[in-house]
Structure 1
Amino acid sequence: MNIVGIAGSNVGSKTRTAIDYTLKMARDKYPDATITLLDLAENKMVFSDGRNYWEYEGDTKYVTETIMAADAIIIGTPTFQASIPATLKNIFDLLPVNAFRDKVVSMLVTAGTAKHYLMAEQQLKPILAYMKAHIVPTYVFIEDKDYLRKEIVNDDILFRLDRLVEDTVVLVDAYAAIRQAKDAEYDF
């Protein structure tokens, strides 16, 4: 299984901290999985100009091809102006409309206040659904108060991140079994 974690901003540390915790949990629980971190702050991305994703070069090509090769994607995003950051939106613009077909996508959202908890429902999930993702229904919302010195200090958040990893992998396995059973119906 190929799991890709995306730290979806080029500024700040809270989303990266949450993705680091999440991917460590995934590595501990599923040591046979290939787990890759894509931190958009560490990659020089160009803006989408309408080309196919494989026609780009450098970090842009690496990031898009890594996402396209994934079985599961865990997106970490901060909340900026009650929406996703432009760096994450650019990733979606670089990919084809069916980029997430047969992929399971889960998400964690960081925000300064509880007032933005619906951002994932109103901004992120519609984009993922349009791009044909199998979306893990629940997501983890993390506020500033859940951090202390770049560490997550809320045990409930840690429990929910662990559950998010488990739900993601269970859905990957379930959808793979469904596709395998469907393919077995054909005689050729």
Structure 2
Amino acid sequence: MKVVGIAGSNVGSKTRTAMDYTLKIAREKYPDAEVTLVDLAEYEMVFSDGRNYWDYEGDTKYVTETIMAADAIIIGTPTFQASIPATLKNIFDLLPVNAFRDKVVSMLVTAGTAKHYLMLEQQLKPILAYMKAHIVQTYVFIEEKDFHRKEIVNDDVLFRLERLIDDTVQLVDAYAEIRKAKDVEYDF
């Protein structure tokens, strides 16, 4: 199983911190999984111009092909101006409309206040649904108060991150079984 974590911003540290915790849990609990972090702050991405993702070069090609090869994607995003960052939106624009078909996508969000949880419900989930993702319905919302000196200090957040990983892997396994049963029906 290939799991790709996306740290969806090119600024700040809280989302990257949360992704590091999350992917550490994934590697410890599921050592057979191939876990990759794509931190958008570490790549020189070009803006989408309508080409197919495989026609881009350099970092843009690497990032999009890494995402497309994943079985599961964990999106970590901060909340900026009650919305997703442009760097994350650009990723969605670079990929085809059916990019997440047969992929499980789970999410974690960092925000300054609890009021920003609606961003995920009203913006991110509809984009993922449009792109045909199997969305893990529960997500982890992490507020400013849950961090101290680039560490997560709220044990409940750590518990929820662990549960997010478990839910993601279980959903990948469930959909793999469903696809396998469907393939048997066609007998070719």
Common fold by TM > 0.5: yes
- Tell me how far 1:187 sits from its aligned partner: 2.0
Written as runs of structure 1 = structure 2, the 5 A alignment for 1:42-121 is 42-121=42-121
Distance, in Å, in 1 between the alignment partners of 2:132 and 2:6 is 18
Superposition TM-score, scaled by structure 2 size: 1.00
Aligned to 2:18: 18
Runs of 4+ in 1 over 2 A off after TM superposition: none
- Tell me how far 1:51 sits from its aligned partner: 0.3
Letter in 2 for 1:22: T
Aligned to 1:158: 158
In structure 1, the gaps of 5 or more residues are none
Aligned to 1:4: 4
Distance, in Å, in 1 between the alignment partners of 2:69 and 2:109 is 23
Distance, in Å, in 2 between the alignment partners of 1:28 and 1:56 is 34
Q: Percent identity?
A: 87
- Tell me how far 1:151 sits from its aligned partner: 0.1
Letter in 2 for 1:56: Y
In structure 2, the gaps of 5 or more residues are none
SS in 1 for 2:5: strand
SS in 1 for 2:89: helix
- Tell me how far 1:7 sits from its aligned partner: 0.2
- Tell me how far 1:68 sits from its aligned partner: 0.1
Letter in 2 for 1:126: P
Superposition TM-score, scaled by structure 1 size: 1.00
- Which digits, 9 at most, give the CA deviation of each residue in 1:74-101, with x for residues without a partner? 0000000111000000000000000000
